[in-house]
Copies of this chain bind each other. A is one copy, B any other.
Amino acid sequence: MQDFYAAYDKIVLGDPRETKLDPEEKRRVAVHESGHAVVAHYSPYAEPLQRVTIIPRGMSLGATQQTPSADRHIMTKAELESRLRVLLGGYAAERVVLGDVSSGAENDLKKATEIAFKMVAHFGMSDRVGPVYHEHRMEHPFLGQMLATEGGTSDATVYVIEEETRRILTDSLEGAVHLVAEHRSPLEHLTATLLEQETVEKHELNALLGPSVTLPGALPAEPLHARGP
């Protein structure tokens, strides 16, 4: 089974390169990944954890892998909010556990901002912006980043979209900080385990973190069951 994962890792995440972190950095990465894992584990609608690792691969200093979801075609607002919370879980853990944030959250913030932007500007998920599609940014085919499409949106409306994007991300961060603080003890346990053995697999994660949350208290009218393989 370990062999399978090693192969999977090579293919999906690239060959491990000889990235040499100093001890403080290593500890920070462990805290950061533990944050993602804890928020994913205790969030409704989030996909189940598969493994957590602090072995650097390619550009990544660590990784929290969730069960590869079925090829989803529709994402509800609640599912997207859950994904944002998980993405900001590493940043939240650094702030709560280490008292300071770092440049290591850059990529998480970038991904989370793109999702929150789409919720507001493309999916009609902000009451303030309303059921309006704003052709403002799209992913550039070559550069792999969001660019303005010159759709002619006014600066004032772009600002409203940004304010709503910021509100959604700030709420998501608060949710993540809350979950991290509430489950700090298992989080630190996970961090210590990661520093010892570098990778923690699904069964160990469940043992460390206890029962995960799949049916939240505040369900929509028709609950969507957790997706599985």
Shortest C-beta distance, A36 to chain B (Å), equals 14
- Residues in B whose Cβ lies below 8 Å from that of A80: 103
User: A215 on the interface (CB 8 Å rule)?
Assistant: no
Shortest C-beta distance, A71 to chain B (Å), equals 7
Question: In whole angstroms, what is the CA distance A14 to B150 when docked?
Answer: 31
Most buried by B among A20, A88, A97, A224: A224
- Residues in B whose Cβ lies below 8 Å from that of A103: 74-76, 80, 118, 122-123
Question: In whole angstroms, what is the CA distance A103 to B122 when docked?
Answer: 8
Known contacts A147-B149, A150-B148, A158-B152; decide if A28 and B74 are in contact (CB<8 Å).
yes
Residues of A whose CB lies within 8 Å of any CB of B are 19-22, 24-25, 27-29, 61, 70-78, 80, 88, 91, 97-106, 109-110, 112-113, 118, 122-125, 129-137, 145-159, 162, 165-166, 169-170, 172-173, 220-222, 224-225, 227
